[in-house]
């Protein structure tokens, strides 16, 4: 169980940031079953509620099952996994969705210092609300920019004028966004997306007090709204440093490059290649099953819509209890 408070300078990852203090609560439950001497079933349930004080809240819940069968005397551990998840967000209603997950995962002990992990997952994402193109977090649209929810779907006459004065307003001839005039300001049906993710990770056991991880991953999103489909590569590094008994410092840095390769060439107000970076540090102190932690996280990135950019800082401290 986990409870924390913090400050988020830009929960929407928008160009014009709206900051908020928050409290976050998480609970997780994991249970392992031995179906036979070798066949292992892991079951996981967890839920998180994030209570933003200046903007609206979000929460999610998920359940996952992982079936593993060790090979090569336990040196190779292949798993199949499946799960469901639900995410609700009253601040960015365009983000609300249900997900189904299936995948495979293989963990290989290469030597006493190295473990290689491979994961390939398919995620089917059913969004709940109508939303304008690129209304997701970090895509360049401000949450206040028109209706986010399909419950208040924009009518055609409204859509035709909503863009006036906006960055997509091409003036009397309507060519500010090439052929995209109007379309970007019209709400589109809830998306049905498929996200395929392939990742390779290497854990390195360097010293008693220092463990590192390297990650490379590729993701391919096939969206029911073609222009929102993307291909993404990700590179990450994490270091866990435990210099003293009961103290732990984790540093994580990630870089993403996202290519929206199905955006019509005529839509010149959409940047098709975007990069994002994040770095975070967390310091923890343990007292038996209790962990007190503080963390700082920095993010910046480019958004496809209207060539926006964003920055975000999150400062958070909290208490966890493992049992």
Partner 1 sequence: MRTFLVFLILLFLGFPESNSVAEELFLMRVVSVDQESGKISAEVIDGPDLSTNGTGDPVRKPGMITVLTGSGRLPKQLHPGSVVRVWGEFSGETGTFAARKLFPGKTAGRKTDPTGVHRRLGKGRGFGGKGGGGHGHGRK
Which of positions 40-59 make contact with partner 1 (CB under 8 A)? 42, 44-46, 48, 58
The answer to whether 99 and 81 are in contact (CB under 8 A) is no
Stretch that binds partner 1, among 103-111, 145-153, 165-173, 263-271 (CB under 8 A): 103-111
Judged by CB under 8 A, how many residues of this single chain contact partner 1?
A: 113
In the complex, minimum distance from the CB of residue 173 to partner 1, in angstroms, rounded to a whole number: 29
30 vs 80, which CB is nearer to partner 1? Answer: 30
Alpha helices in the chain (DSSP H): 156-162
Instruction: Please report how close the Cβ of residue 56 comes to partner 1 at its closest, in angstroms.
Output: 12
Distant-in-sequence, close-in-space partners of 21: CB < 8 Å, separation ≥ 6: 5, 6, 7, 8, 52, 53, 54
* Residue list 198-217, contact with partner 1 (CB under 8 A): 199, 201, 203, 205, 207-211, 213, 217
* Nearer residue to partner 1 within complex by CB, 108 or 174: 108
Query: In the window 107-126, what residues touch partner 1 (CB under 8 A)?
Result: 107, 109, 111-113, 115, 117, 119, 121, 123, 125
Residues 292-321 that bind partner 1 (CB under 8 A): 293, 295, 297-299, 301, 303-304, 310, 312, 314, 316, 320
Among 129, 148, 186, 274, binds partner 1 (CB under 8 A): 274
The window from 153-161, 166-174, 219-227, 264-272 that contacts partner 1 (CB under 8 A) reads 219-227
Among 55, 77, 263, 270, binds partner 1 (CB under 8 A): 77
Taking the alpha carbons at both ends of the chain, their separation in whole angstroms is 9
DSSP secondary structure of 127-184: E-S-B-TT-STTSS--TTSS---GGGPPPHHHHHHHTTTSTT--GGGT-TTGGGTTGG
148 lies in the binding site for partner 1 (CB under 8 A): no
Cβ contacts of 270 within 8 Å, gap of 6 or more: 134, 177, 180, 227, 260, 263, 304, 305, 306
In angstroms, give the least distance from the CB of 172 to partner 1.
Answer: 31
**Residue (102 or 266) nearer to partner 1, CB:** 102
Tokens 């994030």, located at residue = 50
Q: Report the site for partner 1 in 2-21 (rule: CB under 8 A).
A: 2, 13
Distance separating alpha carbons of residues 134 and 305, to the nearest angstrom? 7
CB nearer to partner 1: give 26 or 170: 26
Closer residue to partner 1 in complex, CB, 170/280: 280
Q: Quick one: 18 or 174, whose CB is closer to partner 1?
A: 18
């Amino acid at each position: 169980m986990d409870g924390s408070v913090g400050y988020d300078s830009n929960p929407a990852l928008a160009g014009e940031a709206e900051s908020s203090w928050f409290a976050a609560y998480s609970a997780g439950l994991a249970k392992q079953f031995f179906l036979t001497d070798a066949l292992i079933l892991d079951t996981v349930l967890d839920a998180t509620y994030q209570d933003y004080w200046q903007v609206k809240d979000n929460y999610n819940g998920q359940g996952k099952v992982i079936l593993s069968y060790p090979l090569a005397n336990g040196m190779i551990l292949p798993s199949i996994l499946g799960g469901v998840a639900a995410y609700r967000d009253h601040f960015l209603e365009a983000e609300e969705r249900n997900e189904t997950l299936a995948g495979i995962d293989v963990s290989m002990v290469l030597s006493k210092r190295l473990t290689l992990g491979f994961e390939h997952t398919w995620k089917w994402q059913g969004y709940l609300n109508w939303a304008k193109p690129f209304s997701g977090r970090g895509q360049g649209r401000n949450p206040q920019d028109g209706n986010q929810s399909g419950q208040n779907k924009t009518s055609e006459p409204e859509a035709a004028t909503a863009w006036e004065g906006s960055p997509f307003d091409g003036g009397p001839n309507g060519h500010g966004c090439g052929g995209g005039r109007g379309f970007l300001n019209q709400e589109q049906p809830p998306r049905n997306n498929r996200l395929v993710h392939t990742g390779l990770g290497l854990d390195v056991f360097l010293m008693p007090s220092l463990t590192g991880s390297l990650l490379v991953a590729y993701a391919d999103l096939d969206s029911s709204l073609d222009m929102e489909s993307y291909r993404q590569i990700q590179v990450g590094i994490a270091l866990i440093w435990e210099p003293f008994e009961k103290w732990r410092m984790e540093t994580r840095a990630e870089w993403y490059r996202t290519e929206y390769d199905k955006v019509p060439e005529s839509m010149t107000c959409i940047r098709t290649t975007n990069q994002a970076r994040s770095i975070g540090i967390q310091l923890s102190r343990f007292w038996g099953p209790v962990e007190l932690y503080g963390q700082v996280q920095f993010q910046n990135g480019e958004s496809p819509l209207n060539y926006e950019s964003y920055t975000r800082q999150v400062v958070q401290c909290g208490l966890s209890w493992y049992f």
